[in-house]
Amino acid sequence: MREMGFMEKLLDGVRVEWLPLGEIGELVRGNGLPKTDFTENGVPAIHYGQIYTYYGNETVQTLSFVSSETAKKLKKVNKGDVVITNTSENLEDVGKALLYLGEAQAVTGGHATIFKPDPKILGKYFVYCTQHSFFFDAKRKLAKGTKVIDVSATDMAKIKFPIPCPDNSKKSLEIQAEIVRILDAMTAHTAELTAELTARKKQYDYYRDKLLSFEEGEVEWKELGDVADYSKTRISFEYIDKSNYVGVDNLLQNRQGKTESNYVPASGNLLEYRKDDILIGNIRPYLKKIWYSDRIGGTNGDVLVIRLKDEKLNARYLYQILADDKFFEYNMQHAKGAKMPRGSKDKILKYLIPIPLLVEQARIVAILDKFDALTSSLTEGLPREIELRQKQYAYYRDKLLSFPAAQAA
């Protein structure tokens, strides 16, 4: 990458000093701000939960607002400040940072800390540093709690960050700015791909709804049990490996197919699935776990194996019907259990399937399969491109921010 050669020259012979966060800026712990305080407009407000569910690395506008009266009680966020999460249910989201660039003063609440950078460090450079492994390792050592994990502002202040060329402020900021420029370009391209993927998914949902909606009397309708059965065949564990064993754990959510299994049975006979069978995770149906089989393999009782028996039905068309939100909503309506709802096998077989002519089924499949490849495939299409860009970003981010460990005293 051309930029890396430039960076190597820029960093050549440069001393790097690792300084505690508390020495390169002011840390202000937030207070209050339950979601019930939100208003339709008013003073911009940043809620800690939105930092890891809604925002990216920076924002000019806030998602939420509070009244001016409520804002008086909350800590203030000015342009150039960074809001950091202190609390989450997972360590990954603790310490997630958001640079605020809005002109209007904002506020934030509890479970968040405001970092007000000194002139020696750029706010955006600091945000990128919080995504590096050195920061993750440091916060892991300081984290408290199990179900809810917290790193306090006091502990956060102890984490050291690399400041290149600390004796020459102008050169230091130039180096930081160049690192930010390179990483900004990468994240911008990923953001464009993600926005395109979102638009394509909306388009896909529109066409799926149109193509799979039929007027009464327009087509024949049959219960699933009239056109397909559950697999009753068995397969020995000897023919099973991580590539063809399917459990609910390696079926992916939201119609994303499956991944390789971390577990492989070492004895006994398993429920067999074959090529063109449809596998559905039957625990927590709302997760929409479904896969169209392209091989022979084995599974367990938590996965339903649906096998076509009607020659008037295209197997791939049946998959598209069962991958539709309407099927999963139906399945949840008849599921039993509160914490771990399980679909009713009897009710599933009574789900009504619209059956147009085979030529129309083939047309519908051709259209929806193209959208599937573009919006859902992990081996092609936009998801694959985004994954590759994210890996490239992580690689160069780590290269750009991996200053000599010897300097981290």
pLDDT, tens digit only, all 409 positions of the chain: 555 555 566 666 678 999 999 999 999 999 999 999 999 999 999 999 999 889 999 999 999 999 999 999 999 999 999 999 999 988 999 999 999 999 999 999 999 999 999 999 999 999 999 999 999 999 999 999 988 999 999 999 999 999 999 999 999 999 999 999 989 988 888 778 878 877 877 887 888 888 888 887 889 999 999 999 999 999 999 999 999 999 999 999 988 889 999 999 999 999 999 999 999 999 999 999 999 999 999 999 999 999 999 988 999 999 999 999 999 999 999 999 888 899 999 999 999 999 999 999 999 999 988 887 777 665 566 677 777 888 887 887 777 787 766 443 3
Query: What is the separation, in whole angstroms, between the first and last Cα of the chain?
Result: 31
Residue 234's beta-bridge partner residues?
271
Instruction: Please give the C-alpha separations between residue 167 and each of 10, 16, 24, 134, 222, in angstroms, as whole numbers.
Output: 15, 10, 14, 23, 77
- Do 14-166 and 220-355 show the same overall fold? yes
Question: Which residue is listed with tokens 């700015």?
Answer: 177
Please give the CATH architecture assigned to the domain spanning 14-166.
Alpha-Beta Complex (3.90)
Q: Measuring CA to CA, which residue among 264, 265, 267, 270 is closest to residue 234? A: 270
> Distance (Å, rounded) from C-alpha 308 to C-alpha 316?
10
User: What pLDDT, on the 0 to 100 scale, is given for residue 97?
Assistant: 97
Question: Which residue is listed with tokens 């002139």?
Answer: 119
Residue 283's beta-bridge partner residues?
342
Composition of the chain by helix, strand, coil, percent to 5: 40, 25, 35
Q: Between helices 381-401 and 2-11, what is the axis angle to 10°? A: 10
DSSP state of 243: T
Q: Which residues, in sequence order, are CB contacts of 359 under 8 Å at separation 6+?
A: none
User: What pLDDT, on the 0 to 100 scale, is given for residue 256?
Assistant: 84
> Distance (Å, rounded) from C-alpha 179 to C-alpha 78?
24
> Distance (Å, rounded) from C-alpha 277 to C-alpha 295?
9
Task: Spell out the alpha helix ranges (H) of 302-380.
Answer: 315-322, 325-333, 345-348, 358-375
User: What pLDDT, on the 0 to 100 scale, is given for residue 409?
Assistant: 39
Q: If one looks up domain 220-355 in CATH, what number appears?
A: 3.90.220.20
Q: Which residues, in sequence order, are CB contacts of 21 under 8 Å at separation 6+?
A: 27, 115, 156, 157, 158, 159, 160, 161
Number of other residues whose CB lies within 10 A of the CB of residue 217 = 7
Extents of the domains making up the chain: 14-166, 220-355
At residue 125's C-alpha, the angle toward residues 165 and 148, to 5°, is 125
At residue 285's C-alpha, the angle toward residues 281 and 290, to 5°, is 40
Q: Are 286 and 314 in contact (CB under 8 A)?
A: no
Edge-to-edge strands, sheet with 82-85? 25-29, 112-117, 82-85, 97-100, 58-59
Q: Which residues, in sequence order, are CB contacts of 386 under 8 Å at separation 6+?
A: 190, 193, 194, 197
> Distance (Å, rounded) from C-alpha 79 to C-alpha 367?
47
Q: Are 247 and 304 in contact (CB under 8 A)?
A: no
Q: Which residues, in sequence order, are CB contacts of 179 under 8 Å at separation 6+?
A: 7, 125, 128, 400, 401
